[in-house]
């Protein structure tokens, strides 16, 4: 499941939103969130203790809780932004094709 998600930044604000969303739900905690995200409770706990890092669990956790995904921060080149916009515009098959092409380009550049 996690292969389809991009690594996203874990911010202190996002962690606070996650904790608030969990508290707002009756009979819903990290165990249920882990089940919704198809991962372990330990993985959820680690993400919630790791501000300033990135994780592929940010998107599925955000989706499960109905909260916003943190924005990419820092300077982003126009080319990087174009790639992100292209990824966002594609369906799952298109993303898979784009990733396959990118991997091929990386493989060729390593030669």
Whether residue 77 has pLDDT greater than 80: no
Residues 17-63: tens digit of each pLDDT: 999 999 999 999 999 999 999 999 999 999 999 998 888 899 999 99
Q: Same domain, yes or no, for 82 and 58? A: no
Domain tally, the chain? 2
Q: Is residue 85 part of a domain?
A: yes
Residues 86-103: tens digit of each pLDDT: 877 888 898 888 888 888
Q: Same domain, yes or no, for 61 and 8? A: yes
Q: Same domain, yes or no, for 48 and 100? A: no
CB 65 within 8 A of CB 20: no
- Structural domain including 98 reads 78-109
Q: For residues 76 and 34, what is the distance between their CA atoms, to the nearest angstrom?
A: 31
Q: Same domain, yes or no, for 49 and 85? A: no
């Amino acid at each position: 499941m996690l292969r389809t998600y991009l690594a996203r930044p874990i911010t202190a604000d996002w962690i606070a939103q996650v904790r608030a969303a969990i508290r707002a739900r009756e009979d819903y905690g990290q165990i249920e969130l882990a089940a919704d995200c198809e991962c372990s409770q330990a993985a959820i706990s680690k993400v919630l203790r790791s501000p300033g890092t990135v994780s592929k669990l940010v998107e599925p956790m955000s989706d499960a809780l109905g909260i916003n995904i943190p924005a990419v921060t820092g300077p982003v080149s126009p080319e990087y932004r174009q790639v992100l916009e292209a990824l966002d515009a594609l369906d799952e098959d298109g993303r898979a094709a784009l990733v396959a092409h990118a991997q091929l380009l990386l493989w060729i550049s390593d030669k």
